[in-house]
Structure 1
Amino acid sequence: MLTTIKLNSGDEMPLVGLGLWKIDRADAAGSVREALRNGYRHLDSACDYGNEVEVGEGIRQALAEGTCRRDELWVTSKLWNTYHAKEHVRPAVERSLRDLGLDSLDLYMIHFPIAMEYVPFERQYPPGWISDLAHPERGMKLAKVPRHEVWEAMEELVRSGLVRNIGICNYNTALLRDLLSYAKIRPAVLQVELHPYLTQEKLLRFCHEEGIAVTGFSPLGAPSYVPLGAASLEESVMEQQVVRDLAQRHGKTPAQVVLRWGVQRGTAIVPKTSKSERMVENRSIFDFALTDDEMRSISALNRNRRFNDPGVFCEAAFHTFCPIYE
């Protein structure tokens, strides 16, 4: 079975990566080192996760131990909202590269289609969502940066050799159409929330037709959001009877069935865990396949339930109504 997805650049990205969002700094180096020992070769990082220094230390340790070579690794990072102006894009990626201890990234992505006021590195890093921590009640400070400006700066990163591929996160089809109208270097990857409660069929079809690979974040849905108060335990797709029945039929866990559904749709996935046994479990999905009927039965669970929605959490947590989805 295929374990990589080919990008429009010709590069191949591993289908299963380790998501590094919400992995504590104290655990990040050890988690990365353990993941690479367990066969992971795809790390999904971001400035905003606040742990890139520790992620870089984990990579350094693994390379020093001979666990893998740098050319066997796929490392992704993301441009934060405060660095969208063209003069800030290169310094932002250079900071991520320094923190990660790397000379180049395999993939650099625009994290959100939200431009915010610049926050200098020396004042606050990572900058987060609120520009003035002394006055959080003032909320987010948005900036008027044309989308073509940030993409042109991203393209220059490819030309300079700092990154191999560029992409976007949390874009819808309208934003993708706009981007494709002026992009000289087409986006290689779109990363969006994908799980059986949010299947996004039209978006996936559009990306397939345009040759844009798709990575699904939060591929297990609710569990990532329960600690944040954005989901309840009752919303776990892994408790659905159809998923539990398929797990029993295939001799797999419910999580493995859901993750298998994700990669079998042709998307990469980046489940997050800091537990070694779960790392092994999450990658052990290439020794079985779901039938077409089984795939449809899981897709039928769709509720258009989005757990990661700036139009909800920005107002609740950062005093700013900031929708990007209708």
Structure 2
Amino acid sequence: MVHTVKLSNNKDFPIIGLGTFKAEPGEVLQIVKDAIDVGYRHIDGAMFYENEKEVGAAIRDKIAERKIKREDIFVTSKLWNTYHPPEMVVPTCKRTLADLGLDYVDLYLIHWPHAFKEGDDFIPEDSNGKIIYSKVDYVDTWKAMEECVKLGLTKSIGLSNFNSKQIQRVLDIATIKPVVNQVECHPYLNQKKLINFCKKKNIVVTAYSPFGGPASIAEGNPNAPNPLLDPKIKAIGDKRGKSTAQVILRYLIQCGVVPIPKTVKKSRLAENFECLNFELTSEDMAALDALNTNTRICHKMEIKDHPHFPFNEEY
């Protein structure tokens, strides 16, 4: 059994998941199947990733094989920025369910607090290549997210990439509270202040990009910080016979965070999953805490003038 944490609505949330961002069509089907075989029971996806049909097919295949039951697997999806108007939220969630071939998701998140011009063009741009914004306020979007719960389309709802002030605005108007906030989190951006804020509000933090640099490097950013190459993290792993990746994931779990590492290699899936089988000492944790530089990889500075841009706040 995968270790779980309790969400504020008493649902069980597996403490490690598989991220599916940038998992290409043709490979994501197999990697989700492999992940389930290894023992993963938490799959994180989104409409924006454009691979939910294969993610859903893999889950359904494993249910058909009787490897899992539907209730054994925790599936997350996200509402993209171009579908924030309240009247678009329920239909968009239903589209995701149609793509996945599932009757419900376990968690549906607002992917980002900032809205873009409505429509199926995920990155709408003007003639100068500037992203076109929408004025929709995410607190209005949230009310429609609550409707998704009432209709049985999702068991839980939450946020992604929201800062503390934005979270509080949602809490102030919510009748169904967000149970999760998913953010970038790794040893160079450990998000301690935001995590502590969320804990006080009974919100679990999910960590995307737990290894920091690899995805950004693939995007052509050779200067992106890469904790997997950090000699101090490697030294902690060497001392315990663990890989750097395992140390990073264990660190995040002991910080109270649910990491969702991405890989397309079955051997890496198994390696990452083994972070559940050891503990770091308080000295190890202190050494890893000291690596924090508040270095953000997914910084989105091209939209920093958006009125709901989340990273202008300290946390």
TM-score normalized by the length of structure 1: 0.91
Question: How far apart are residue 138 of structure 1 and its match?
Answer: 4.1
- Residue in structure 1 matched with residue 4 of structure 2 by the alignment: 4
2:122 equivalent in structure 1: 128
Contact 1:310 1:324 in 2 (8 A): no
For 2:21, the equivalent position in structure 1 comes to 21
1:251 aligns with 2:241: yes
Shift of 1:246: 0.8
Structure 2 letter corresponding to 1:196? P
Task: Give the match's secondary structure for 2:26.
Answer: helix
**Contact persistence 2:114–2:309 (CA under 8 A):** no
CA contact (8 A) 1:230 1:307 kept: no
- Alignment check: 8 A CA contact 2:2 2:41 kept: no
CA contact (8 A) 1:191 1:214 kept: yes
Within 5 A, what are the aligned runs for 1:1-326? 3-119=3-119, 124=120, 127-130=121-124, 137-232=128-223, 235-312=225-302, 323-326=309-312
Identity %: 38
Deviation at 1:279, TM superposition (A): 0.4
Question: Could you say if the C-alpha distance between residues 231 and 216 of structure 1 is closer, same or farther in structure 2, counting changes exceeding 3 Å?
Answer: farther
What is the one-letter code of the residue matched to 2:26?
Answer: A
Residue 103 of structure 1 aligns to a residue whose secondary structure is: coil
Residues 214-242 of structure 1: per-residue CA shift (max 9 Å, x gap): 10000111112101124537x22122222
Distance 1:245 1:131 in 2: 46
Q: List per-residue Cα deviations over 1:59-100 (Å, max 9, x = no partner).
A: 121111111110000000000001100110011100000000
Number of equivalenced pairs: 312
* Moved >4 Å (runs of 4+): 319-323
Q: 2:114–2:306: 8 Å Cα contact kept in structure 1?
A: no
Cα contact 2:2–2:14 (8 A) shared by 1 = no
- Distance (Å, rounded) in 1 between the aligned partners of 2:118 and 2:229: 43
Distance 1:70 1:262, change over 3 A: same
- State how far apart, in whole Å, the 1-side matches of 2:175 and 2:213 are: 37
> Alpha carbons of 1:25 and 1:2: their partners in 2 closer, same or farther (altered >3 Å)?
closer
Please tell me whether the aligned partners of residues 231 and 307 of structure 1 are also in contact (alpha carbons under 8 angstroms): no
**Post-superposition CA distance 1:143-175 (Å, at most 9, x none):** 111222100000111111111100000011111
Check whether the contact 2:114–2:138 (CA below 8 A) recurs between aligned residues.
Answer: no
Letter aligned with residue 239 of structure 1: L
Quote how far apart the aligned CAs of 1:204 are. Answer: 0.5
Contact 2:164–2:197 (8 Å) recurs in 1:
yes
The one-letter amino acid of 1:129's match is I
- Could you list the per-position Cα deviations for residues 127-146 of structure 1 after superposition, in whole angstroms to 9, with x for gaps in the alignment? 321257xx5x3432211112
Q: Please, what is the CA RMSD of the aligned residues? A: 1.9
